[in-house]
Amino acid sequence: MPEWKTVRVKQELVAAATRTLEKGRCRSLSEFVSEAIRLRLEELKKSHEAIAETRIEYPVIQERLRYTPNHLWAMVTPDGNIRVGLSDYAQRRLEGVVGFQTDAVGCEVKKGEPFGVVETWMFMFDLFSPVSGKIVRLNKILIENPSAISKNPHETAWIAEIRPNNLITLEEELTDLMRPPKYKNWLEKLDRPRILGV
């Protein structure tokens, strides 16, 4: 780094400190430095939190997903929660998604019962919980930017995480859900053109 830049930074810092002390915002130079460090650490913390929200925390292994007939997927996370999202099939058919509304963190949900809705320009699509438990986390990315569902419905655009009430019940609930090959076959039947009289 050229020496003149270092000198200029030092001069600007001294000038900023002098102005702050003259205005009475800080009582001493050490208080000014402490406050500057505190503010910088807050900035760094916020930027790291923003990065943490956007990164993929758990890679999705498609074979480990389980699907409901209502087009939601469920995945067990490494910390034992159940991450829930909208299937790719459903998000492709829900054109014009404008919002997601879900029960709040801390709310109890029951398997097969609604815990939220997806809003489109034309209608609302109910979200039925694939398992029973308590909502422990909602995806801020999806709440702030509902259209993110169309970019990556499995990795970054999941909807909620549910902490199961009971591991034995959870195992039974997950067994009831469709594995990917079965879900794929089921979708093919849904998409098959219907012939009158058949």
Q: What is the CATH number of the domain that holds 128?
A: 2.40.50.100
Q: What is the pLDDT of residue 1?
A: 46
Are 128 and 170 found together in one domain? Answer: yes
Segment 140-174, tens digit of pLDDT: 888 888 888 877 777 778 999 999 988 888 888 98
Are 187 and 136 found together in one domain? Answer: yes
Note whether 75 and 57 are within 8 A (CB): no
Q: What is the pLDDT of residue 109?
A: 95
Are 44 and 66 found together in one domain? Answer: no
Q: Which residue positions in the chain have pLDDT lower than 70?
A: 1-10, 12-13, 21, 40-41, 44-61, 193-198
Considering its fold, how many domains does the chain have in total? 2
Q: What is the pLDDT of residue 130?
A: 94
Are 76 and 125 found together in one domain? Answer: yes
Note whether 128 and 70 are within 8 A (CB): yes
Instruction: Kindly calculate the radius of gyration of the chain based on its CA atoms and give it in whole angstroms.
Output: 25
Q: What is the pLDDT of residue 21?
A: 67
Question: Is position 197 within any domain?
Answer: no
Are 80 and 134 found together in one domain? Answer: yes
- The Cα–Cα gap between 144 and 136 comes to 18
Question: Is position 33 within any domain?
Answer: yes
Q: What is the pLDDT of residue 196?
A: 47
pTM: 0.66
Question: Is position 196 within any domain?
Answer: no
Domain that holds residue 155: 62-191
- Which tokens in the block code for residue 38? 């505190």
Q: What is the pLDDT of residue 57?
A: 55
Q: What is the pLDDT of residue 198?
A: 44
Q: What is the pLDDT of residue 113?
A: 95
Q: HSE-up of 90 (CA within 13 Å, CB side)?
A: 24
